[in-house]
Amino acid sequence: MHYKTCCFTGILSFFLIFSLAAQQPKIHSHNDYLQNVPFWEAYASGAKSIEADVILMNDTLFVAHEKESIKNGQTLTSLYLDPILKARELGIGHQEPFMLLVDFKTEAYSTMEQLLKDIQPYAALWENRENPFVKIVVSGNRPATEDYDKYPFPIYFDYQSTTDTLDLPLDKIELFSLSFGRFSQWNGKGRITDEDAEKLKKPIQIAHGFGKPFRFWATPDSKTAWKSLSEMGVDYINTDQPYAAGPYLKSLPKRLYKSPNVSEIYRPTFETDGIPSKVKNVILLIGDGNGLAQLSATMYANDNQLTITQLKNMGLIKTQAADDFTTDSAAAGTALASGKKAKNRSVGSLPDGSAAENLPAYLKSHGFNSGIVTSDNITGATPAAFYAQQSERDLIREIASDLPKSPLNLFIGGGKNDFLRFGTDETKTLEAHGFYLAGSLEELAASNASRVGYFASNHGLPKVMQGRKHYLKNATKASLAYFQSKKQPFFLMVEGAFIDSGGHAHEVSTIIEEGIDFDLAVAEALRYADKDGQTLVIVTADHETGGISLPQGNLNRQEVELEFSTEDHTGIMVPVFAYGPQSDTFRGVYENTAIFDKIIAAIQQYLK
């Protein structure tokens, strides 16, 4: 059936363009025969179009770009048709339909005649005419357009013009393709110019107007290029790296994020920032796994600003454990809490087996109250480092039993069941040691008890994306209200735990939404510090998680792309920010253990 351009109404064109643009881009494995394992690598990578250049010689279709590179045995049959049939018959791989794009390097009609002979034994690959496993799409030296209809199913064609579009046999055209170099000399690094981008979009729109997908060949072959071409609406991304491009484009929607929860930030007064006066209270906020990339991504997604990034005194800390280059939260939490390096998995326990003296214990002897707030379970590695002394972070029963004996005056977090599930009701032990267990944050804030606790959940708390809203902010605010009523100096540790979870799971939404939530808690701490005038606020992380980089984004859309190099922690230094009296002492690059030392040094004037 033939169609003329004029037959396409505006409405039909709109819906065709919308339908094609809404589809995920597909991978076209260019010069696939040059891969170490032709066909199989592209097929395993999920390529929806696989290209083979063919040369007709002595009644055989050899797979090669020119005659000089022909190798015995490397034919269209051996490298493609036989493996494809095997994949189909044995049910190997994804079993999703794809195109075999056969690029004729020799005269069109004789090469086509041989192709038709070669594919005859493989009818099983296209027995389903509505949805064949393979479509044979002829490119390169093709027969004349008016002859397309002469060739039977499953033969289709790669049309290579967007100017000669009258009377096209659209039912035989599978896609439109053009050379990228006709429109741009961009090398795939940095940003393509607006002018070139507009040139490139025009042929795509013409192809989509005919209801056909589009491909550029000879494109730059990089992640930046793949993303840009995808955003322009290219349907088949040309690449010689299908094993890299496939996973990259498939994961891109999950790694490209725009937050629906842009929050207002708090702008500190800086009246007491960095002045050499007494420090009465210390608030230490720890974003678990919150490295510089996580912080950057959260800032860009939150309209390019955070409360944290308003702060002026900042440094970097090294996070290595006593026994490993890459720390876990237990060793890192112990280093922050005690000023001593610990082995991974150790919670408040030093390498020689002795108990580490943590900040709450040290400060109690000087008249300080202390507390911990976390979005993790109370027995989680980071909060536990501020009250427990155990050689293994998984000793939950023992960690829970350490809490009543600790010097803490306040705790807020999840995981009440950790105090119930081992045969002994440790909540009774908590009460016996003077803890009043509040039923709400409001009750805790107004409590006159010398020791208070609030279990925010029986098991783990949900993530922000699962419905938890402003918990960390409200818990911080309630804790500060409680301590203010006691008229004593205090130390408070606040942990945002799920930034780390997002890094482990490669969940960009979790990293950013938990990062924004953590920033709201930081804002509460800074508000208090501005009102009080004698409060030092420190914001840092225990380690970085995910090995994250930020290759692309869009500030106007508050959109950011994250890439991950690992599912684990890394040894990358993490930022530390400080605000209030003596906050300038936190500048520089130093070990995580120095946080403890700097806090002690900052309160020495108050202790005199």
Establish if 420 belongs to a structural domain. yes
Place of tokens 């998984």: 394
Q: Is 276 contained in some domain?
A: no
Q: Name 545's Cβ contacts closer than 8 Å, sequence gap at least 6.
A: 288, 289, 291, 294, 499, 500, 502, 503, 504, 568, 569, 570
pLDDT of 1 reads: 42
354 falls within a domain: yes
Q: Provide the domain limits for residue 308.
A: 281-568+581-607
Rounded distance between C-alpha atoms, residue 202 and residue 411, angstroms: 61
Per-residue DSSP letters for 92-153? Answer: -TT---EEEEEEE-S-HHHHHHHHHHHHGGGGGGG--SSS-SEEEEEEESPPPGGGGGGSPT
Check the CA dihedral 14-19-22-27 and report its sign.
negative
Amino acid at 354: S
3-state secondary structure (DSSP) of residue 578: strand
CA 176 to chain centre: 34
Question: Side-chain half-sphere of 85: how many Cα atoms within 13 Å?
Answer: 13
Q: What is the mean pLDDT of each run of 10 residues along the chain (608 residues)?
A: 38 36 78 89 94 96 94 95 96 94 98 98 95 97 97 97 95 98 96 96 97 97 95 96 93 92 95 96 98 98 97 98 98 98 97 96 95 98 98 97 97 97 95 98 97 97 95 98 96 98 97 98 98 98 98 94 97 98 97 98 82
Residue at token pair 């065709």:
16
457 occurs within a structural domain: yes
- Look up the CATH number of the domain holding residue 393: 3.40.720.10
Q: Who's near 531: CB < 8 A, 6+ residues apart? A: none
Domain match, 37 and 185 both: yes
Residue 436's DSSP bridge partners are 452
- Residue 409 falls inside a structural domain: yes
Instruction: Report how far residue 480's alpha carbon sits from residue 24's, in angstroms, rounded to the nearest whole number.
Output: 49
251, amino acid identity: S
Q: Are residues 211 and 286 in the same domain?
A: no
Structure tokens at 559: 């959109």
Sheet holding 559-564, edge to edge: 256-258, 559-564, 548-554
Please give the C-alpha separations between residue 55 and each of 85, 111, 117, 137, in angstroms, as whole numbers. Answer: 22, 8, 15, 16
Which amino acid, residue 149? Answer: D
For residues 244 and 379, membership in a common domain is answered with no
What's the CA gap between 583 and 538, in Å, rounded?
8
Q: How many alpha carbons lie under 13 Å from residue 146 in its C-beta half-sphere? A: 0
DSSP 354: P
How many other CB atoms are there within 10 angstroms of residue 105's CB atom? 18
Tell me how far the alpha carbon of residue 562 is from its chain's centroid: 5
295 and 242 in one domain? Answer: no
Secondary structure class of 1 (helix, strand, coil): coil
- Domain annotation covers residue 601: yes
Chain centre distance of CA 83: 36
Query: Are 11 and 73 in the same domain?
Result: yes
Note the pTM of the prediction, 2 decimals: 0.88
Secondary structure (3-state) at 282? strand
d(CA 460, CA 292): 27
3-state secondary structure of 442: helix
> Does residue 109 fall inside a structural domain?
yes
* Domain identity same for 147 and 235: yes
Q: Please name the helix (run of DSSP H) or strand (run of DSSP E) that holds residue 37, with its range, or none.
A: none
Q: Given 194, 227, 258, which residue is the final one in a domain?
A: 258
- The token pair at 177 is 């393709």
- Could you check whether the bond before residue 203 is cis, i.e. omega within 30 degrees of 0? no
Give the residue among 112, 122, 88, 216 at the shortest CA–CA distance from 162. Answer: 216
User: 324 with 207, same domain?
Assistant: no
Q: Are strands 313-318 and 574-579 parallel, antiparallel or unpaired?
A: antiparallel
d(CA 69, CA 71): 6
Please report which residue ranges of 124-238 form alpha helices under DSSP H.
194-209, 223-232
Q: Contact 61/115 with Cβ under 8 angstroms? A: yes
Check whether residue 222 and residue 117 sit in a common domain.
yes
Task: Report the amino acid identity of residue 181.
Answer: G
Residue 426 φ/ψ, nearest 5 degrees: -70, -15
* DSSP β-bridge partners for residue 283: 492, 537
Q: Judge if 32 and 107 occupy the same domain.
A: yes
The count of domains in the chain is 2
- Dihedral of CA 19/25/31/34: which sign? negative
Query: Residue with structure tokens 């004789």?
Result: 110
DSSP H or E segment with residue 552: strand 548-554
561 touches 551 (CB < 8 A): yes
Neighbours of 150 (CB within 10 A): 11
Report whether 370 contacts 490 (CB < 8 A): yes
- Residue 302 has what DSSP assignment? T
Could you tell me if 459 and 396 lie in one domain?
yes
Whether 171 and 231 share a structural domain: yes
Q: 594-607 and 329-338 helices cross at what angle (nearest 10)?
A: 30
Number of Cβ within a 10 Å radius of residue 274: 18
- On whether residue 275 sits in a domain, the answer given is no
| Whether residue 424 sits in one domain with residue 529 | yes
